[in-house]
A and B are shown apart, each in its own frame.
Chain A
Amino acid sequence: MEVAFFAAIGLIAILSSATMIVVRKPVHSALLLVVTLFCVAVLYLSLAGEFLAAVQVFVYAGAVMVLFLFVITLLNPSGEDPLAGSRRIAIVAVVAAGALLAVVVAGLTAGAVALGIPNYPPPPITWGDNIQAIGRSLFTDYLFLFEATSLLLLIALVGASALAKGQLGRMGRR
């Protein structure tokens, strides 16, 4: 049952992200990425990450993808042949990525074995309520990181509005 559920969700995620790479129109790519992000959110739920699953849907599938769709509609880029560059480069990229896949799978599984992490079944959850545990960790152990994140968001906000207004270009010419 668990394996069938995981296989279904994982297959949808792989198929939609593979299709995302090969479709011509950026809008279709964006919508297929939303499907993949939803699948990842479902997998977070299966891994007892209820808060992350909700944030994944709100922030990624919601805010970030809406931003992507806004930019796509604003710029209206025409469709592009996915292999417009060079077929030889594409073949080399796929071969290199296959080698990367082998290395990453071997590294992750060997790392899990070396660290003595159980493969199945997982240990019982010790953190109690998911949102409470994340909040406690966020506001005690990671408080400085949390505050630094707010500064990062402020910098991104200022930088994005400066870039969008073209202020940087005008300042450079002055």
Chain B
Amino acid sequence: MVASLDYYLILSAILFTLGVIGFLVRRNPLVMFMCIELMVNAASLAFVAFARYLSLIEGQVLVFFFMVIAAAEVVVGLAIIVTIFRSRTSINVDELNTLRG
């Protein structure tokens, strides 16, 4: 059921671009974080497609590591977001322009 390599690469690029647009346009840190996840997934899709077409398992192993790193990143990022939300009521990242607590 595998399609041509170009199709996978184009789909991966489209998903990555949608993630970039969401990250730039949205001001809610949670939605911005979801857009980062979308970008990671798009890159992973390109990796797995190349792994299949080069017949190399290393591409899949690296995507496995991506998933571990993304999980760690989500844990720390959401903890930071929760801490920020606790100290102030705003959810707009444009108003979070100071590092003082």
Binding site for B on A (CB under 8 A): 1-3, 5-6, 10, 13-14, 17-18, 20-21, 26, 29-30, 33, 36-37, 40, 43-49, 51-52, 55-56, 59-60, 63-64, 67-68, 71-72, 74-75, 77-78, 80, 82-85, 89-90, 93-94, 96-98, 100-101, 104-105, 108-109, 112, 117-127, 130, 133-134, 137-138, 141-142, 145, 149, 152-153, 155-157, 159-160, 163-164, 166, 169, 172
Contact = CB atoms under 8 A, between A and B. Distances in A.
A90 B51 CA distance: 35
Interface residues of B, number: 76
Given A14-B14, A55-B67, A64-B37, A82 B26 contact: yes
Nearest to A115: B54
* Most interface-central of A14, A120, A121, A124 (chain B CB within 10 A): A120
A134 B5 CA distance: 22
B3 A46 contact: yes
A92 to B, nearest CB: 8
A80 B12 contact: no
B30 A68 contact: yes
Q: 3 closest pairs, A vs B, by CB?
A: A93-B24, A156-B72, A6-B3
A115 to B, nearest CB: 8
24 contacts: A3-B3, A6-B11, A14-B11, A14-B14, A17-B19, A20-B22, A26-B30, A33-B38, A47-B2, A48-B2, A49-B51, A49-B63, A63-B71, A71-B78, A94-B21, A96-B24, A117-B5, A122-B2, A124-B55, A133-B57, A134-B60, A159-B76, A163-B79, A163-B80
Contacts of B96: none
Interface string B56-74: 1110110111011111111
B9 A109 contact: yes
A122 B25 CA distance: 38
A159 B65 CA distance: 20
Contact of B70 (A10, A18, A64, A159): A64
A145 B85 CA distance: 35
Majority SS of interface residues in chain B? helix
Given A36-B15, A117-B5, A117-B54, A82 B61 contact: no
Contacts of B61: 134, 137-138, 141-142
Nearest to A157: B75
A43 B78 contact: no
